[in-house]
Chain A
Amino acid sequence: MTDKTVLNATHRELGARMVDFGGWDMPISYGSQIDEHHAVRNDAGMFDVSHMTVVDLTGERTRDFLRHLVANNVDKLTKSGKALYTCMLNEEGGVIDDLIIYFLREDFFRLVVNAATRVKDLAWIEKQAVAFGVSVRERPEFSMIAVQGPNAREKVLGLLPEDTRELAGKLGKFAALEGEGPDGMPLFIARTGYTGEDGFEIVVPESRAVELWKALHAAGVAPAGLGARDTLRLEAGMNLYGQDMDETVSPWEAALAWTVSLDEGRDFIGRAALESQKAAGVPRVMVGLVLDEKGVLRHGQKVLTAQGEGEILSGTFAPTLNRAVAFARIPAGEPGDVRVDIRGREVPVRLVKFPFVRDGKPQPGIADA
């Protein structure tokens, strides 16, 4: 059975090409996915991300529980509304999922986890929550719309009643608030995203999602599909669960060390494994690649380095850069000249730092060659 978001009919009315995405019938594009990509980089676009899973945690010991559950430290969240990106690990240090945690009150935190990992995530979280007396509640009655781009905030703010508009206008990056939208619809507005652009991710009751989508569309926000979402997030240097990391990969091997907090005395799941991997030396690293000649880097292509073979994780044509970029996992150590096997042809690629694009602009050294 394929799941549908409440916006399914709206996507079809807009002429979207629909695909199966982790069991969900979702729009890959409405027309040209490259045009949708540029709309987000240069103006404002919106994505239906209602397939993602909202999970509310409540109970007095919720913060304690999260200290144990995830690799980043929720003690960084001191102000109500602040958000944290983190991995949830198994005992072996492999990534069960990546997620965002919003701190609302000491006894109330909200998680947003991936759609494809929903079942195993909930089972894992519920199992771990028992010892802390934390209640785990999925919120399938919520839809989510991500509005992204340099003009995204302005266009959203224009739709909000005055008091929410004022607060949302002052909302800092990676923070959220609860407020009101058009015609009194209750909204959870977060200044987060998955495109490398400024904007909001808005949680809205399912019953009001179509109304909000149409209001945004009328305000000049371009519908964008999962195709554009993928090229935008890869340019922005953001990992995709299942492609760039999974349960066989530690955060060290997925360029996610920045999300791991090895703070004194905190016993989070997977910590021991991470520490011993670090002490022994991490065998593989995730790197950014740029292809300056013709061709497209794609998932599964073989990467040849002086240390041995690796493989492309996420790879695509990057519309902002007008060339192909990729994440690859390769053996640690001096890689030498790196080549990628594209249909039997060995093509030289450049190893670069990512993000490839930030705030709408190619980063130095990415597209200069």
Chain B
Amino acid sequence: MSEIPGELKFLKSHEWVRIEDDGKTVTVGISDHAQELLGDLVYVELPEMGSDVKAGAGIAVVESVKAASDIYAPVSGTIVGINEMLNDKPETINEDAWGAGWIYKIEMSDKVELDDLLDADAYAELLESEDH
């Protein structure tokens, strides 16, 4: 498994969150660990552009040959970007979960919610404990 990028935040449900330079947008994907568990991805159901989402709500779905998995919103806000390439090439998530396989972008309505996310070390610990 590839190393966990230190600048990212995480949900326990294996979504990663990157705070963009503008300070108000976050990009969300699933971790390399999550894609490995799911195996070959075959469909991604993206959220709708411009829709309002609440932290903790299931707003996207990734489906592998083996299983379907909800992708939760890490923060509340508005969807300002979706990775449409995933419609044709869902396997991009398998190939590059941390980068080209990003899923959607949210413009945050309440930055305080970021405090509830795990940092990279806490996420690494979570994976460690799940292995045992």
Contacts and interface: CB of A to CB of B under 8 A. Distances in A.
A294 interface: yes
A17 B68 CA distance: 18
B63 interface: yes
B65 A227 contact: yes
Contacts, number: 36
A27 to B, nearest CB: 12
A34 B68 contact: no
A317 interface: yes
A33 B42 contact: no
A317 B42 contact: yes
Interface in B66-104: 66, 68, 94
B40 interface: yes
B65 A316 contact: yes
Nearest to A35: B40
A231 interface: yes
A294 B42 CA distance: 9
Interface residues of B, number: 12
Contacts of A23: none
A29 interface: yes
Contacts of A316: 65
A33 B68 contact: no
B63 A296 contact: yes
Interface string B34-61: 0010011011010000000000000001
A295 B63 CA distance: 8
Interface centre among B63, B66, B94, by most chain A C-beta atoms within 10 angstroms, is B66
Q: Which of B36, B42, B43, B94 has the most CB of A within 10 A?
A: B42
A68 interface: no
Contacts of A298: 68
B94 A32 contact: yes
Contacts of B68: 296, 298, 343
A296 B42 CA distance: 9
Contacts of B43: 294-296, 317
B40 A32 contact: yes
Contacts of B66: 28, 33, 227
A33 B40 contact: yes
Contacts of A29: 39
A33 B65 contact: yes
A29 B61 CA distance: 23
| Chain A to chain B: the 9 pairs with minimum beta-carbon distance, closest first | A317-B42, A34-B40, A317-B65, A296-B63, A294-B43, A32-B40, A33-B40, A33-B39, A33-B65
Interface of A: 17, 28-29, 32-34, 227, 231, 294-296, 298, 316-317, 319, 343
23 contacts: A28-B39, A29-B39, A32-B39, A32-B40, A33-B39, A33-B40, A33-B65, A33-B66, A34-B40, A227-B39, A227-B65, A294-B43, A294-B45, A295-B63, A296-B63, A296-B65, A298-B68, A316-B65, A317-B42, A317-B65, A319-B65, A343-B61, A343-B68
